[in-house]
Amino acid sequence: MKKVLQVLMVLSLSLSIVTLPTRSVKAAGFSDVSGLKKEINYLTDQKVINGYKDGTFRPSEKLTRAQAVVMIMRAIGLPETPMQDSGFYDVSPSSFGYKEISHAVNGGIINGKSKHQFDPTGKITRAEMAKILGNTFKLEGVNEFEFKDVSHGSWAFPFISSLAANNITVGYDDRTFRPTQPIDRAQFSAFLARSMKPHFRPSTGKVKHSVVDLPMEATIIDVVKNPKKPFIYYLDKESKSLVLLNLETKAKKVVKLTHPAEKLAIKNDKIFVTQLIQERSPYNFIETQKGLINVYDADDLSFLKVVNVNIEPYDIAVADDETLIVSSGSGQHTELHTYNWQTSEHLSSADSIQQELIELSPTQNKIYSVKTSHYTGKIDTYSLLAGVIKKEEMVSRFFDTMKLRGYIQMSPDGRVIYNGDGTVYASSSDPSKDLAPLGKLATPFSTMTFDEFGKQMFLADRSPQISVYKYDSLEPTFALRVYGKVNRLVYVEETKELYALTSIKLDGSKVESTILERFDFGQ
């Protein structure tokens, strides 16, 4: 009888807090909510949490372990897999949150107080909150500043540290976290909303960090920056679109493409886009290859012309004299081609390997190419004179072909070449000095961008960390942390802002979305 009364009391309290009321009340209308309105409103709209029938939210009311689990599972959705009983004596099929607790325990989101006890009516602490959010949203990272009351030996240390590293919590003004303190409805709502959607996370640290509130396409495959304006251009694979994004006004211009596109280039206020019109194959020999390069006005993406090329385009570069350089995506032993993009005239060819990434020197008389295959990892050089390309004889250099990455980036002054594995080489007109090894960066990377005025470069390798280097250094001076995994980096000199296109699972989704994160170096 005692246990029946206890269950009824739990149900009564739980239902008043997190089940749907007879009428929906948005946070803006809660009579007792003054802070964290956006976060509470967001969770209310998502039907994760609700107010009371009297129009209140009761933000300072403490949350139980069962209520917290129900909120978490509402946020991410119950799995379709069959439910297994958690085996706790204090959580029966008639208990509030029985399904949610069973799925959460079996999914490794939360543990019981012991093997047979869950303590559903116990107040959830801030440390427990950190653990279940960390487990649910796969949070990673180590906080730069440690909390005075969270020791390295604590079971909660890695969870609290990753929570802080992702700016979901900043702790208290006295540099404490207060891990054993029960958490209230408002605090838990804020932490959950920040975990689900990084737009709610507060900015911390030396550089102001925020998420641009702008929907982004999910399958961005190439990005270039306008050298004169705060515009970026990118390709979206899924929608087959070319997009212009004004980073000041956040206005977008979208152009649909007829064929799949892979690479972009910008030169003299023109945007060049590869168009793949045949399937890739190592057996598409150069005699059978063909493709298109679309040309658009960089200001408004108005279509200017199409360049017909007798090569299957993989990567492109453009020189000031209207020379278009194109590498091939098929054919094993194939060629690099040059064209006059205004007339579509084929100017020259040079032997190469399929799927080479190319980099044109600032002097525009030299091309560097990197092989993307582990078996042929190598950097080659080509001369370019009046549109004619020729492969150069190189001084023998050692390249670690099993580590050299299919990514190459030249410094803005044209003196240094960086490969994605972190190796650094000299760029020189003197063959005895060209591609001489200069050392290796402390971190490999898959995207890089430069702050020319501040003499800084930013690197990331599909992780939440951005390493910041000085031009003349092989060691990072400091690191920035983003909320997702970095796909692309763009630095905008006009506004002194670093933008990161990152992948993250939003709103409890099981698939990744793209968000645009911003660091303001002007403040």
Q: What is the pLDDT of residue 398?
A: 59
Handedness of CA 169, 172, 178, 182 (dihedral sign): negative
Phi/psi of residue 35, nearest 5 degrees? -120, 165
Q: How far apart are CA 246 and CA 252, in angstroms?
A: 6
- Other C-beta atoms closer than 10 Å to the C-beta of 92 total 11
Task: Please report the pLDDT score of residue 439 as a whole number.
Answer: 87
Q: What is the pLDDT of residue 6?
A: 43
Write the CB contacts of 8 (distance below 8 Å, at least 6 apart in sequence). none
Q: How high is the pLDDT of residue 407?
A: 82
Rounded distance between C-alpha atoms, residue 353 and residue 367, angstroms: 14
How big is the chain, counted in residues? 523
Low-confidence ranges of the chain (pLDDT < 70): 1-29, 203-206, 372-377, 396-403, 508, 523
Q: β-strand 366-371 against 456-460: which pairing, if any?
A: unpaired
pLDDT for position 378: 76
Beta bridge partners of 254: 243
The model's pTM: 0.74
End-to-end CA distance of the chain: 65
Q: Per CATH, which fold does 257-440 belong to?
A: Methylamine Dehydrogenase; Chain H (2.130.10)
Domain definitions of the chain by residue range: 2-124+182-199, 203-220+443-523, 257-440
C-alpha–C-alpha distance, residues 257 and 453, integer Å: 36
